[in-house]
A and B are shown apart, each in its own frame.
Chain A
Amino acid sequence: MKNRALVIAGLSVLIFFGAIWADHRGTVPVPLVPTAQGHCVLPTALMRREHMMLLRRVREQIVRDGKHDQADRLTTCIACHVQTTATGASIPINQHGQFCAACHTYVGVHIDCFACHATVPQKAIPIADLGQTHGEQAAYRIPRVILQHAPALIARGHS
């Protein structure tokens, strides 16, 4: 009986000082997220919570429905949020401290977008086109519907 009380007291002390010690070591600093040029498709607070839903929706529209003309697709996110070096070269968006990596490292959420997707924007398409068109683009030219779902999200109290 006497031993049990001792053990409990010892554990309590250990937990108490352990907690103080752990707290004393400090917390992980909140990441410094690089800011982008221009305006985002949604308010920042909404993007932080909902960007994965947006990307999931837009990827279905592009890949499966063939509606490529989307403003909120991953390539435009990267083009706007990418940082450049002093020499003007783009820094990969998933590199340490960059836009995607900064937050995802902090919250410990692994993303595999960049196993397939390019991490820097690229404009040049090295193919001669000679003005050749197939005349069927109208089938997949759709008006840009960026914020069609945004009012609903804001109404739900997400902003």
Chain B
Amino acid sequence: MSDERTELGSDEAPDQGHDPSRRRLLALAGGAVAATLMPGVTLFARTLSIGSGKTPVRFGLLVDTTKCTQGCNACVSACQDYNGLSKDPGPDNAQWIRKVTITDPHTGFTRSFPVMCQHCAEATCVDVCPTGASFRRPDGIVLVDKHRCIGCRYCIMACPYKARSFVGRVIKDQKPWAPRGKGTAEGCTMCVERVANGKVPACVAACNDKGEKAMTFGNLHDPKSEIAKSLARFSTTTIRADLGLRPGVHYRGI
């Protein structure tokens, strides 16, 4: 099990279960370690996370809630446009991203900010998926492989952020870059097709264009990236940080 974690690129510091001396040994041995179990059967362990202790790329978001305003809906609107989601308010329309307003009843302190899939390092949706459809890419983006999804809805139940939803009706006029259909779970994809082409997700682009420039997208593991610099400079948090899921979406000002 621990080897599997290493293979998947557990992106931060070594897991508690590992013996540090063993890790050093692996690191010394270089990029890949092989152990012969019996003739013809060899166990390979990639040592991706050893060295810097991080994967080279982990995509993430920073939402500056001090800039986000309650009336602005640009990110939600852009998500719907780009991914072909229905704009009609209805009980079964998908919300890959939604605006949430929080108020402290004692002080009256109010903040409005978008909440979407938090792309957790320890994603509960990935843990509970019985078919491997819910998975985390090596670059930190958590996705549903709809070819494998059987529509059991476990991930929807497991997600503490209510980021996943179920498609219950036949869908038509999908976007070629955002396939979605009846009988599968879905959620924010961090606009993988845009990210693959070097662009930022639709919500971030719209926020910077029409909104309040409150959202930053980038590689959390690159110290030179704008997002990593902001995270190092400002006090930020993640939603329900107490759950220890290590989300990739960070918030400032809440």
Which A residues contact B (CB, under 8 angstroms)?
Answer: 59, 63-64, 66, 68-69, 75, 78, 115-118, 121-122, 125-130, 132-137, 139-140
A136–B218 CB distance below 8 A: yes
A136–B180 Cα distance when bound, in Å, is: 26
**Chain A positions within 8 Å of B135 at CB level:** 64
A66–B139 CB distance below 8 A: yes
Interface residue? B89 (CB, 8 A) = no
B170–A134 CB distance below 8 A: no
Q: How large is the interface on B (under 10, 10 to 19, 20 to 34, 35 or more residues)?
A: 35 or more
A132–B208 CB distance below 8 A: yes
Interface residue? B206 (CB, 8 A) = yes
Instruction: Name B196's contact: one of A59, A66, A129 (CB within 8 Å).
Output: A66
B176–A68 CB distance below 8 A: no
Select from chain A the residue with minimum beta-carbon distance to B224.
A135
- Number of A-B residue pairs having CB atoms within 8 Å of each other in the complex: 107
**B residues 173-207 touching A (CB-CB < 8 Å):** 173-177, 179-184, 192-200, 202, 204-206
**Most chain A beta-carbon contacts within 10 A, residue among B78, B139, B196:** B196
The verdict on A134 contacting B219 (CB below 8 Å), with A64-B145, A68-B192 known, is: yes
A139–B139 CB distance below 8 A: yes
A-B contact pairs, 24 of them (CB 8 A): A66-B139, A68-B192, A75-B177, A115-B181, A116-B179, A117-B174, A117-B179, A117-B181, A125-B177, A127-B81, A127-B194, A127-B202, A127-B205, A129-B200, A130-B205, A132-B205, A134-B59, A136-B222, A137-B195, A137-B196, A139-B56, A139-B57, A140-B195, A140-B196
A122–B177 Cα distance when bound, in Å, is: 9
Which B residues contact A (CB, under 8 angstroms)?
Answer: 56-57, 59, 78, 81-82, 135, 137-139, 141, 143, 145-147, 170-171, 173-177, 179-184, 192-200, 202, 204-206, 208-210, 217-219, 222, 225
The verdict on A115 contacting B182 (CB below 8 Å), with A64-B135, A125-B82 known, is: yes
Known A-B contacts: A125-B194, A136-B59, A136-B225. Give 9 more (CB < 8 A): A64-B135, A122-B176, A127-B205, A128-B209, A132-B200, A134-B59, A136-B57, A136-B195, A137-B195
**Chain A positions within 8 Å of B193 at CB level:** 68
Q: At the interface, is chain A mostly helix, strand, loop or mixed? A: loop
A135–B225 CB distance below 8 A: yes
A59–B210 Cα distance when bound, in Å, is: 34
A78–B176 CB distance below 8 A: yes
A129–B207 Cα distance when bound, in Å, is: 11
The verdict on A133 contacting B56 (CB below 8 Å), with A117-B176, A121-B176 known, is: no
